[in-house]
Amino acid sequence: MNTQTKATESTDLATLPPGMSTGNQSLAVQLAMAELNQDVITARAFPRSVATVMRNITELVMLDEQTAKECVYAVPRDGKTIRGPSIRLAEIIASQWGNCHCASRVVHVDKIEKYVESEGIFHDLETGLKRTARTRKNISKRDGGLYSQDMIMTAGNAAASIGMREAILKGVPKAVWRQAFEHAENVIRGDVTTLVERREEAMKALAGIGVTPDRVFAAVGVVGLEEIGLEELADLYAMYQGVKNKETDVDEVFPAVKKGGDQPSGLKGKLDQLAGEPDKKSAADKAAPKSEAGSSPAGSDTHGKQASTPKAATGQQPSSGQTSSRDPDDGDPIAKATRMGRAAYRRNMSKKAIPVDFKAEGREAERQAWLDGFAAEEDAEAPEPGSHEEE
């Protein structure tokens, strides 16, 4: 009885719609339709078990540490680090999901607009769901020139991998692979006991692909090796795997650091820098009145002597409301932390780049003050104390 039922289902699936008889189709089309019908029949005859799929994906991801690292990628975008599942994890998901077709191809190369476009395809034979994803990859150099033919082919392959990854992740429900992805992130993040060793391993691996330490620190928003924590370390491993899997390139993930001091990259940072230059000049003029007095012969004898007289001899003492130039915070740790947070935002650092000292136990107030200063500087309506608008 069951055999007859399956035979009937097979006959129904293989039957062509009206007006599409085999005599009107080419041999290639007939073969493709027959192959697709047979795949659908097989998929429905052997349905998948979602619980088994989830268990198998997790086991493969956690097979060893290297496999877990390759399952996560990261890329910086607008001062933030975006982390997600890589093409390696997508391949594991598709292999264990089963009863599906997935592929990718380059569909367009535009040498005028300087990009290559690829398409990824995912077809679930059991449910009939079909997903496509198109991705573009830039093929222009920093100077605006076009990539060589070999580099264009490499960029096309990278775009094709990204397209297939996106199609698979859109076709397979996230609930199936989310747990495996979280396990992979935990493996990459590690724990505090191995943080020092993992820092050194990460820096050596990044040096192997030509990334200097200053570019590493700028990518994760820290000022030194000691400030790389567990989250920053996880981002670095994921960035490295993205470059290694050719999903991104080194210059995109680890951009070159501009020399010649701290230069603001955003429009607000540049405006704040321009607005702060007059204040710096006026402060310098007030701190050095001797140079102004010495500009005229008549004033050099009188004002020059007064400027050289010590304050102790003249009896002048700073008022209680004034602060020393050496300690603008007047010894207040909260004010100092707030100022450091403001300065971190002006240097275009990440909000996660909290100094290591403030992360210690018992210094929660200073850590919060650093965050408040960073947020205040980020808000355009909260100017830095002492600053003023000029016409």
Pairing of strands 72-77, 115-124: unpaired
42-50 average pLDDT score: 92
Does residue 119 carry a pLDDT above 90?
Answer: yes
Contact status, residue 247 vs residue 87, Cβ threshold 8 Å? yes
31-45 average pLDDT score: 89
Q: Which residues contact 347 (CB under 8 A, 6 or more apart)?
A: 262, 264
Does residue 389 carry a pLDDT above 90?
Answer: no
At 316, the amino acid letter reads Q
Q: Give me 238's structure tokens.
A: 């994921």
Domain ranges of the chain: 1-15+27-46, 48-257, 328-391
* Among 108-122, 179-193, 357-371, the range of highest mean pLDDT: 108-122
**What is the per-residue pLDDT for 289?**
46
Does residue 345 carry a pLDDT above 50?
Answer: yes
Q: Which residues contact 13 (CB under 8 A, 6 or more apart)?
A: 37, 40, 41
Name the band, by pLDDT with cuts 50, 70 and 90, for residue 366: confident
Tallying the residues shown for the chain, one arrives at 391
**What is the per-residue pLDDT for 330?**
65
362 φ/ψ angles, rounded to the nearest 5 degrees = 95, -5
How many Cβ atoms sit within 10 Å of the Cβ of residue 349? Answer: 21
pTM: 0.53
> CA–CA separation, 220 vs 20, rounded Å?
59
End-to-end CA gap in the chain: 91
**What is the per-residue pLDDT for 2?**
46
**What is the per-residue pLDDT for 229?**
82
Does residue 97 carry a pLDDT above 60?
Answer: yes
Strand partners, 110: 115
